Structure 1
Amino acid sequence: MAKLNTFLTEDRPLIDVPMPQTTDEPMESVIVFWYKVIGDTVTQHDVLAEVQTEKATFEVESPASGVLQEVWVQRGEAAPPGAVLARIATDVDGAGPASVVKTGESVPPATGLQTPQTERVALPPRLRRLAQELGVDVTTLRGSGTNRKITEEEIRRAAAVATEGTQSSISVTPVRRTIAKRMTQSLLEAPQLTEHAWADVTELERWRIRFQNIGWNAWVLRAVVLALQDHPMLNAVWEDTRIRLQTGVHLGVAVDAKEGLYVPVVRDAQLLNVDQLQQVVQTLANKVRSAKVCQEELTGGTFTVTNLGGYGVEFFTPILNPPQAAILGVGKMDERMVLVDGQGTVQKRLPLSLTFDHRVVDGGPAARFLQSIIWRLQEPQTLMR
C-alpha cells in the first residue's frame, strides 16, 4: 500500500491521492475522467478517477473520507506513478476549497497541469470514448436528450462541424499515444532485422479439417511455443550488461480492437496444448474487444505473434514489442501448383515474417528458430505433444 502524505491547510489535514504504479515499468498514465469535482464529499474507497495506462483502464480510489480539495492533474493529462493527482481534506464538514498550505512540504505537480477542474459532465463510458476519439469537448455541448443528457448524435454533429473545411484533425487518444510511444521507443533503441520465409502447411490443412474446432492461429502459436523452448535466446530480453533468458513462455497475441492494437498475454503458454491455447486466446480477445481486459493481462509478455492474414497481407515487417527480443508476423495463406512425383498438386503455404533484436541474436540463430517453426507446421503431429 502506498504511503499517504498528509498536509495541513487552514488547520485541516490534506491527504495526497497519488497515481498508482500498475506495471513494473515507470510509465506515465493518462487521466481519462474525473468522477468527482472540487468541493465534492467523498468517502474512503470512493472512485475518484478513471486512468489509462499501457492500453488498459483502472480506477483510482479515495484513500480517505473528506472533501476533494485540490485537483492537480486534469482530464487528458498524463502523470508518472507516485505523482499527486489530487488532495482530500479530512475532518471537514462541507468545507470549500482552500489554497494556503500551513505546514508540510508540497509535492511538485505533474508537468502541464495547472488549472483546477471546475465542472463535470456525466457520460456513459461508450459516449465518453466516442467524444474522445472524435476530439469533441463535451463541456461545450448543451445536451439535447432527455433531462438535457448529451446524445451520440449530438457528439457526432459537433465533430462534423469541427472538421468542416479543407483540413481536419482528431485528438490523440490515450491508446494511440501509448502505441506511438512504445513503437518509437522500439525503433530507436533496438537494431531490428526481419527475415521472411514460407511454411508448407498442406498437411496441416488436413489436420485442421480433422480438428475443426481449432483455427489456424492456434496451430501457429503452438509451433512458436515449442520452437521457443528449443531456441531460448528468442525468448529473452536485452538489459545492456546482460541478456535475461525467460523461464516461461508468456505469449503476447496482437488483437486489433476499435480503440487500437492490444497485446494480451497468455501466461506459461508452454503448459497448454493447442486446444487450450485457442480457448485462452479467444477469451483474452473477447475481453479486449469488450473493454474488459485488465492491466495484468497486457503485461509480462516474452514473445509476440501478430497476424495480418485476414487483411490480405502476406509478408510485412512487425515492430518489436519492447523489451521482447522477437516478434512473428503471420500473413495470408497462399496456394500454388507444384510437382510431386511428376504430378501437379496444390500446395498451401503460409508467409512468416520474424523481426528480432540484433543485440540479442544474429541472423543465423534467428533463421534457425524460424525454420524450427516452419518444420513443426509442416509436421503437424509434432504440435500434439
Structure 2
Amino acid sequence: MSAEIRVPTLGESIVDATVASWLKSEGDAVQRGEALVELETDKVNVEVNAEQDGVLQKIIKQSGDVVAVGDVLGLLGEASAQADHGQQQESAVRTQEQNHASSESALATPSSMLRPPSPLARRIAAEHNVDIAQVQGSSPHGRVTKEDVINYLAQGRQNSPSQPLPAIEQASGRSAAPTQAPAAPPPPLAIGPQRGREERVRLSRRRQTIAQRLVEAQHTAAMLTTFNEIDMSAVMEVRSRRKEAFKERHNISLGFMSFFTKAVVGALKAFPRLNAEIQGNEMILKHYYDIGIAVGAEEGLVVPVLRDADRKSFAEIEREIADLAKRVREGSVSLAELQGGTFTITNGGVFGSLLSTPILNAPQVGILGMHKIEQRPIALNGQVVIRPMMYVALSYDHRIVDGREAVQFLVRVKELVEDPETLLLEG
C-alpha cells in the first residue's frame, strides 16, 4: 500500500516552496526519518523525511516545480521481504567494496554524500560540468557549498597546463594532434544579445523573495535614514584588555556584536516606538527585545533572531550569534529561528562597507547598520587626534517614528558604545 509524501507545514506566512532536488531516485529503498526531497522556501531549505520504511515508488513533483503546503510530492510504497533481503545483500556488498576501495586509495567516499550539496553549489557545478560528487565539503556536516565548488574549480585551473588540451583529448588521455588555425570569428551582431557571452540563471526562491520584500518595504513604508559616527576606542580597549580572560572563561571570543546588541536594547527602552510595528490603524508596542542579526548566506541575506536579548549576558549573546550564523551558512537553521524579530542589526563592515543605507526588515520599523572601522582624524578637546571611527546608519519608518526620535535613538546608541560601562546598567 502506498503512502503519500506531502509538503509539510513550512512555517508562519510561508505557503509554498520550490522543489530543489530529490535526494532519492524511484525504486530506492528508504528508512523512516531519511531525507527524501529538499524544498527551497523563502527563508531556508527544508528536507522532507520518510514517515515509514519502504521504497520510493513514484516522483510526482520534479525539481523546479512550485508546490503548496499539502501537495503530494511522491509516493512511498512498502518493500517486500524478498526485496528487502536483496537490498540488504546489495548494500552489504557495496559497503565491502567501499571499504576495500578506501583502504587502497586516499579518495574516500566524498563528503558531499554525507549531506546534499546546496542548490547554488549544484547549479555552479552543472554550469562548469563538474561532478559534484568529487567536491569535498568543508562544513562540519560535509555539505558542499558554493565556496567548495569555486575552490575546486580554482584548484583545477592551477593544476592544468598553460595550454590545456581539448576536453575530449584530455578525457581520453591522448595527445592533441596539431590543428589548423581557427577561422576568424564572424562579426558581432549589431543588435541583440552577445552569443556565448551571456547566461540565463533562474533566481533562487530566496532571492526572488528578497527582491520582492525589499521593493515592498520601500513602497509601503515611509523609510528615511539618519547617520552618525562612533568612536570605537573604548570598546576596542575593553576587548583588548579582556579578550583572553573572556575567551578562557566562556569559550567564545568577545566581538563587537554583543556591545551593539546591548546598546540597541538600551536605546529601544528609551525610544520604544523603534521596537514597534504597524497593523492597520494600530501601533503595536513590544515590551520584549528579539533582535534580528543579519547574516550573509549563499542564497542571500538571512536574519535569525536573538530572543530576549535584554536578558542575556555578553557571553550568551556572542555564543548564540555565532551559533545562529554558523547554522545559517550550513542551511540547518530552523524557520522558527527566523521569525518574529522586533528590530534588526546588520553589519556591512565585515565586507568592507564604509557607509550604506540599510532597508527595513518589514514589519519592523527600525534597522541599525554597522560599518567598517577606520582610523580617522577628529577634533577632540581642541586638538586633532586619530581615532578608530565607525559610521552607523539607522533606517526607520517615518509613519510612526519621528525624525527627532530617530536621531536621539542613534545618539543613545553612540553614547552607550562609547562608554561601555553604561551597558551594564542601560543595556
Task: Give the TM-score band, short-chain normalised.
Answer: 0.7 to 0.9
Q: 2:289 aligns with which of 249, 256, 264?
A: 249
Shift of 1:353: 0.8
Shift of 1:240: 1.6
Q: 1:239 aligns with which of 279, 287, 302?
A: 279
Indicate whether 1:272 and 2:312 are aligned.
yes
Task: Please state whether the residue corresponding to 1:82 is helix, strand or coil.
Answer: coil
Greater percentage in strand: 1
Greater percentage in helix: 2
Indicate whether 1:132 and 2:163 are aligned.
no
| Alignment partners' CA distance in 2, 1:207 and 1:91 | 63
Task: Please state whether the residue corresponding to 2:234 is helix, strand or coil.
Answer: helix
1:114 corresponds to: none
1:173 corresponds to: 204
| Alignment partners' CA distance in 2, 1:51 and 1:360 | 38
Amino acid across the alignment from 1:289: R
Question: Cα–Cα, structure 1 residues 232 and 259, in superposed 2: closer, same or farther, change >3 Å?
Answer: same
Question: Cα–Cα, structure 1 residues 335 and 156, in superposed 2: closer, same or farther, change >3 Å?
Answer: closer
| Alignment partners' CA distance in 2, 1:296 and 1:176 | 20
| Alignment partners' CA distance in 1, 2:72 and 2:282 | 35
The number of aligned residues is 335
Matches within 5 A, 1:208-223: 208-212=239-243, 213-223=253-263
Question: Cα–Cα, structure 1 residues 26 and 67, in superposed 2: closer, same or farther, change >3 Å?
Answer: same
1:76-118 per-residue CA deviation (whole Å, 9 max, x = no partner) reads: 2222323333345679999xxxxxxxxxxxxxxxxxxxxxxxx
Indicate whether 1:366 and 2:406 are aligned.
yes
| Alignment partners' CA distance in 2, 1:262 and 1:357 | 21
Where does the alignment leave 5 or more consecutive residues of structure 1 unmatched?
1-11, 95-122, 146-151
2:71 corresponds to: 83
TM-score (norm 1): 0.74
| Alignment partners' CA distance in 2, 1:18 and 1:375 | 53
Question: Cα–Cα, structure 1 residues 23 and 359, in superposed 2: closer, same or farther, change >3 Å?
Answer: farther
Shift of 1:271: 0.8
Where does the alignment leave 5 or more consecutive residues of structure 2 unmatched?
83-111, 135-148, 155-166, 168-193, 244-252
Amino acid across the alignment from 2:376: R
| Alignment partners' CA distance in 2, 1:143 and 1:199 | 46
Shift of 1:43: 6.0
1:234-254 per-residue CA deviation (whole Å, 9 max, x = no partner) reads: 112222232222332111111
Matches within 5 A, 1:1-385: 15-38=3-26, 45-63=33-51, 68=56, 71-88=59-76, 124=113, 125-126=116-117, 129-133=120-124, 136=127, 165-212=196-243, 213-385=253-425
Amino acid across the alignment from 2:365: A
| Alignment partners' CA distance in 1, 2:386 and 2:132 | 61
1:278-318 per-residue CA deviation (whole Å, 9 max, x = no partner) reads: 22212222222333323232222221111111333222111
Shift of 1:66: 6.1
1:339-382 per-residue CA deviation (whole Å, 9 max, x = no partner) reads: 44444323333211111122332222222221221121122111
Shift of 1:227: 1.4
| Alignment partners' CA distance in 1, 2:202 and 2:324 | 28
| Alignment partners' CA distance in 1, 2:421 and 2:298 | 37
Question: Cα–Cα, structure 1 residues 247 and 28, in superposed 2: closer, same or farther, change >3 Å?
Answer: farther
RMSD over aligned Cα, in angstroms?
A: 3.6
Identity %: 30
| Alignment partners' CA distance in 2, 1:334 and 1:156 | 35
TM-score (norm 2): 0.67
